[in-house]
Amino acid sequence: MIHKIDILYWRLAVFMLVLSLVVVRLTGAMPVHAQALPAFPLIYHGTAEIQGIPVKDGALITARMGSVVFGPVVVKDGAFYNLAVKADSSHNKEVITFYLQGAEPAEQQMIYKYVNYPILPSAMVLTFNSMPIPTPTPSATATSTPIPTATLVPTPAPPIPTPSPLSPMSVGMEIVGDGTLSRGERGQLRLEANPNGHRILRLEAIISADPRQVKILGSEPGDLLPRALSGQQVSGAAMTVIIFQLDATPALHRMGSLVEVEFEVLRDGGTGEVKFELLGLNAINENDHPIAIDLQQSEAVASVIGFPGDVNGDAIVNIIDLALFGRAFGTSERGRYYNAVADFNADGVIDTLDLSTIVYYYNKES
């Protein structure tokens, strides 16, 4: 009898174990869907022309994908900026057609690419055959006016107060510090702003600097944009920084930074200053509308102390500097005799380019 009871309990335990494994298997096989990132817009900019002649100021350019229209943006000096195309994944690989005044199609088209990460704007040259002629408004024909019947006039409702428009966002630039930098020293450039209540969703800044004077090391969103993804592209003397907020910022009324750029002063730069200039700034609010900008300071300058080719820092380039340079010549970063002070152009290699600098300034005093 006891043996039969043990067998009964054993079979029951095995059944419960198998049942729990099946439940775990079924629940573990159920996929957990993560929340997808929102689609990021494709941004287009460039020039617009009609048979080789720039389109006149004030003309409107739109983008169309099926029955969905994006824009418009206004042409100024023959150029357009910040034409954003944003749709869900069902529109992936659809054709984007660009229109002038909503009627004349451009010869160029693009293919929509659905992405959930920020990408750099695309430059375009849109060419049109002609400027659309507006359709004339038909004139009204005379008709007999019926005699109106008396109706009760309703009491008008009190007007709904409209909010006052926000002031433009104040923007300026500065180089952090006391205004002086040594050759080979790293510095930080800040693009500062007071949003004045605007909520920022996207930002594009174009900053220029002389590549013979500074080397751009990187950039990141400022403290006004805490939940942002960013990217940068350096081309010659210009650097483009694009920032996307995961959601629009609060309505802030304080000074802070939009973009922070880290740079290094090159040791072979010939002038006594470094200079940055803000070439363009586009900011978009939570409604995909541009934010008005009050640019108070578009340049940032710092004095450079030191002397190109002066390896030992005694304010003169002589045989001692040449000897120190010769010891490091031909080496690269992480090499045993590599000397960053002798790498005048900061390219990680001490070569003939650096040698030409010390030869040019030999026997010269600062």
Cite the DSSP H helix spans in 85-192: none
Helices (H) and strands (E) in the chain, counts: 3, 19
Cα–Cα–Cα angle for 7, 13, 17, rounded to 5 degrees: 145
Residue 37: per-residue pLDDT:
55
Tokens 């790498």 label which residue? 343
**What range defines the domain where residue 337 resides?**
319-360
* pTM score, whole prediction: 0.50
Residue 25 in any domain: the answer is no
237 and 204 inside one domain: yes
Residue 209 lies inside a defined structural domain of this protein: yes
Amino acid making up residue 64: R
- Of the candidates 66, 94, 128, which is a domain's last residue? 128
Question: Do 104 and 180 belong to one domain?
Answer: no
**Mean per-residue pLDDT, 43-48:** 91
Confidence of residue 162 (pLDDT cuts 50, 70, 90): low
335 and 232 assigned to the same domain: no
196/259 same-domain check: yes
- 198 versus 162: the higher-pLDDT residue is 198
Number of domains making up the chain: 3
Answer yes or no: do 212 and 278 share one domain.
yes
28-54: burial string, b at 16+ Cβ within 10 Å, e else: eeeeeeeeeeebbbbbbbbbbebeeee
Is residue 32 included in any domain, yes or no?
no
Do 264 and 332 have their domain in common? no
Residue 17 burial (10 A CB sphere; 0-12, 13-18, 19+): exposed
pLDDT single digits (tens) 115-154: 877 777 888 899 999 888 765 555 555 566 666 666 666 7
Residue predicted with more confidence, 296 or 239: 296
Q: Is residue 23 part of a domain?
A: no
Considering the domain architecture, whether residues 299 and 182 belong to the same structural domain is answered as: yes
Residue 41: the pLDDT is 84
Range 31-42 average pLDDT: 58
Residues 52 and 98 both lie in one domain: yes
For residues 225 and 293, state if they share a domain: yes
Dmax of the chain from CA atoms? 111
pLDDT at 347 over 80: yes
Provide the pLDDT for residue 141: 59
Which residues contact residue 294 at a Cβ distance below 8 angstroms, ignoring those fewer than 6 apart? 167, 168, 169, 170, 171
Q: Specify whether 76 is located in the same domain as 190.
A: no
Q: Do residue 345 and residue 266 come from a single domain? A: no
CATH of the domain at 285: 2.60.40.680
With residue 257 as reference, give the H or E element that holds it: strand 256-265
Q: Closest Cα to residue 307, out of 349, 264, 355, 363?
A: 363
CATH assignment at residue 49: 2.60.40
pLDDT band at 26 (very low <50, low <70, confident <90, very high): very low
Residues shown for the chain? 366
Beta bridge partners of 283: 203
pLDDT tens-digit series, residues 302-339:
888 777 788 888 878 889 988 988 889 999 988 888 98
Summarised one tens digit per residue, pLDDT across range 48-106 is: 999 889 999 989 999 999 888 998 889 998 999 888 888 888 888 999 999 998 889 99
Per-residue pLDDT tens digits for 238-295: 788 888 888 888 988 999 999 999 998 887 666 678 899 998 899 999 988 999 999 9
State which of 109, 128, 147 marks the end of a domain.
128
**CA–CA–CA angle 133, 135, 137 (5° rounding):** 140
Q: What is the pLDDT of residues 168-225, one digit of tens each?
A: 999 999 999 888 887 778 899 999 999 999 999 999 999 988 888 888 988 999 999 9
Q: What is the pLDDT of residue 3?
A: 46
Question: Is the pLDDT assigned to residue 236 strictly greater than 60?
Answer: yes
Contacts of 120 by beta carbon, 8 Å cutoff, 6+ apart = 231, 233, 240, 242
CB 92 within 8 A of CB 50: no
Q: Is residue 15 part of a domain?
A: no
Is position 251 within any domain? yes
Choose one of 112, 128, 144: the last residue of a domain. 128
| Residue 177 shares a structural domain with residue 287 | yes
32 pLDDT above the threshold of 50: no
pLDDT tens digit sequence for 10-25: 456 545 654 554 444 4
- Comparing CA positions, the residue from 180, 318, 166, 326 lying closest to residue 252 is 166
Query: So what's the pLDDT on residue 142?
Result: 57
2 falls within a domain: no
Residue 31's pLDDT is what?
A: 42
Q: How many whole angstroms from its chain centre is CA 105?
A: 28
| 326-342 b/e (C-beta count within 10 Å ≥ 16 → b) | eebbebeeeeeebeebb
Which pLDDT score, from 0 to 100, does residue 29 have?
A: 40
